[in-house]
Chain A
Amino acid sequence: GQQLNQSPQSMFIQEGEDVSMNCTSSSIFNTWLWYKQDPGEGPVLLIALYKAGELTSNGRLTAQFGITRKDSFLNISASIPSDVGIYFCAGVSTGGGNKLTFGTGTQLKVEL
């Protein structure tokens, strides 16, 4: 089955640094979603993108929907310890239940 290519797989950064991660696909998606998962919890939606080229912010998070509709990236500015977790991208296809296809995740660790 298809999974999105998400990179990097993990990051170990200093508090206060900016973080970038991206997701690429061989298929076109109409919506891109970014989720964060804390240990022992389900994924929680951070940002949703609905149009190619769209740039959307949510606090220190900024995400963009790639022009080709085959990629998306997420930036976190001035990281803090509570940013630790696993970040997933998800592409939403049209038809057939609008299934979400998930990336393999980026594990973020923040060093104080």
Chain B
Amino acid sequence: NAGVTQTPKFRVLKTGQSMTLLCAQDMNHEYMYWYRQDPGMGLRLIHYSVGEGTTAKGEVPDGYNVSRLKKQNFLLGLESAAPSQTSVYFCASRRPVGGAKNTEAFFGQGTRLTVV
């Protein structure tokens, strides 16, 4: 019963390096989200996807790109990492569309990224 799995769990990058964070869910969820969590600021939405092949910007999209080539995977890319992107990144997914209860989102365990 994997749920939402994020890889890697930890990463240290040098400024200017690139990397991709992977989120995989096995619950057949349509919607997937990437959040970042910073101290005292809760979770802020970076990008999201409402289905395979679609992506949209969230609240803080600058410096990030995403792709949803397969329904079960949502990738978050940093093309040129900056110290301001040091954060904990969380992926979430939601049940298939339809019905009030499909608004419950389930989270991965997070990726702790440090950019030096």
Contact = CB atoms under 8 A, between A and B. Distances in A.
Q: Is the interface of B mostly helix, strand, loop or mixed?
A: strand
A42 B107 contact: yes
Interface in B73-107: 90, 92, 94, 100-107
Given A97-B50, A104-B40, A45 B104 contact: yes
Interface string B25-47: 00000010101000011111100
A100 B58 contact: no
A61 to B, nearest CB: 15
Chain A interface bracket (under 10, 10 to 19, 20 to 34, 35 or more): 20 to 34
B103 A92 contact: yes
A102 B42 contact: yes
A96 B58 CA distance: 10
Contact of A88 (B42, B49, B56, B106): B42
B31 A1 contact: no
Interface of B: 4, 31, 33, 35, 40-45, 48-50, 56, 58-60, 90, 92, 94, 100-110
Given A42-B90, A48-B103, A99-B48, 10 more contacts: A1-B60, A33-B105, A41-B110, A42-B4, A42-B109, A43-B107, A45-B104, A88-B43, A98-B102, A100-B43
